[in-house]
């Protein structure tokens, strides 16, 4: 019998890893998370979220507005009086003080959770292997948790002041917090789902 020699060739190589695409997506998630943390921090520190007639409601203060007339044009405008108070019960809304205390606590914790999540996302890029994957996954969960808490705080604020809330009455800082909440959800979900595309990045789409 003639011996048949079988030559075992090298295993076929997959497609080259698109490192640029992977790094670009992760860098974009980190950058957007950083921007959302800045927006939420500004919104919480300012805290004046709702203008209703001659009253301004915020996370920290309640202000009454006084009407003043311009000296030249005669146009009427409003400015916050100097007696803004942290005694929110003076606004005449039942449960406002306790409700806003819980609201600002939840939103502040959301910012803290997003900051720690952002730090883990950044640290994951400085490590490799399983440690990098664990940090990225945990950071994504913290950012999603921040989105849940921030959304709960916004919902509580709107429910407490629903009788005074109008679309045009919400201030710019309120919409900053609204945008930050949306970005928390978007970036957290994107950070979690990007792990599913790692086989594609590594050239093995059949593992998806």
pLDDT at residue 110, as a whole number: 95
Question: What confidence tens digit (pLDDT) does each residue in 4-38 have?
Answer: 444 444 444 444 445 777 788 889 999 999 999 99
Give φ, ψ of 56 to 5 degrees: -125, 125
Among the ranges given (6-20, 58-72, 126-140, 183-197), the one the predictor scored with the smallest mean pLDDT = 6-20
- CA dihedral sign of residues 102, 105, 109, 111: positive
For 28-87, list the strands marked E by DSSP: 48-52, 55-58, 62-69, 76-80
Structure-model confidence comparison of residues 154 and 84, the more confident one: 154
For residue 32, the model assigns a pLDDT of 94
Report which of residues 146 and 89 the model is more confident about. Answer: 146
Residue 79 pLDDT: 54
For residue 86, what pLDDT is reported?
Answer: 76
Over 90: is that where the pLDDT of 88 sits?
A: no
Question: In the predicted model, is pLDDT for residue 59 greater than 70?
Answer: yes
Q: Lowest mean pLDDT: which of 32-36, 50-54, 75-79, 144-148?
A: 75-79
Q: Phi and psi for 79 in degrees, rounded to 5?
A: -140, 150
Q: Quick one: average pLDDT of 72-77?
A: 50
For the cut 90, the answer to whether the pLDDT of residue 99 exceeds it is no
Domains and CATH numbers, the chain: 19-201 (1.20.140.150)
Average pLDDT on 61-77 reads: 60
Question: How far apart (Å, rounded) are the C-alpha atoms in residues 31 and 37?
Answer: 10
Higher pLDDT, 110 or 202: 110
- What pLDDT digit, counting tens, does each position of 160-205 carry? 888 888 888 899 999 999 999 999 999 999 998 887 665 444 554 4
The structure tokens 């980190």 sit at 30
DSSP code per residue over 157-170 = HHHHTTTT--TTTB
> Residue 34: what pLDDT?
95
- What are the backbone dihedrals phi and psi of residue 162, each rounded to the nearest 5 degrees, phi first? -60, -30
Q: Is 174 exposed, middle or buried (0-12, 13-18, 19+ CB in 10 A)?
A: buried
Is residue 161 a contact partner of residue 150, using CB atoms and an 8 Å limit? no
* Higher pLDDT among residues 80 and 100, named by residue: 100
**Mean pLDDT for the stretch of residues 40-58:** 86
Mean pLDDT of 112-140: 88
């Amino acid at each position: 019998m003639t011996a048949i020699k079988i030559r075992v060739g090298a295993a076929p190589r997959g497609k080259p890893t698109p490192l640029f695409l992977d790094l670009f997506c992760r860098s974009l998630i980190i950058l957007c998370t950083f921007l959302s943390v800045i927006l939420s921090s500004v919104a919480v520190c300012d805290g004046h979220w709702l203008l209703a007639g001659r009253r301004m409601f915020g996370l920290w203060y309640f202000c009454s507005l006084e009407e003043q007339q311009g000296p030249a044009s005669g146009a009427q405008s409003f400015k916050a009086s100097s007696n803004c108070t942290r005694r929110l019960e003076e606004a005449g809304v039942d449960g406002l003080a306790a409700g806003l205390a819980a609201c600002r606590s939840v939103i502040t914790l959301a910012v803290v959770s997003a900051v720690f999540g952002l730090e883990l996302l950044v640290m994951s890029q400085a490590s490799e292997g399983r440690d990098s994957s664990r940090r990225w996954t945990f950071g994504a969960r913290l950012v999603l948790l921040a989105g849940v808490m921030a959304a709960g705080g916004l919902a509580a604020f709107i429910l407490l002041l629903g009788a005074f809330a109008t679309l045009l009455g919400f201030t710019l800082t309120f919409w900053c917090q609204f945008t930050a909440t949306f970005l928390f959800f978007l970036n957290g979900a994107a950070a979690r789902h990007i792990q599913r595309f790692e086989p594609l990045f590594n050239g093995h789409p059949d593992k998806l």
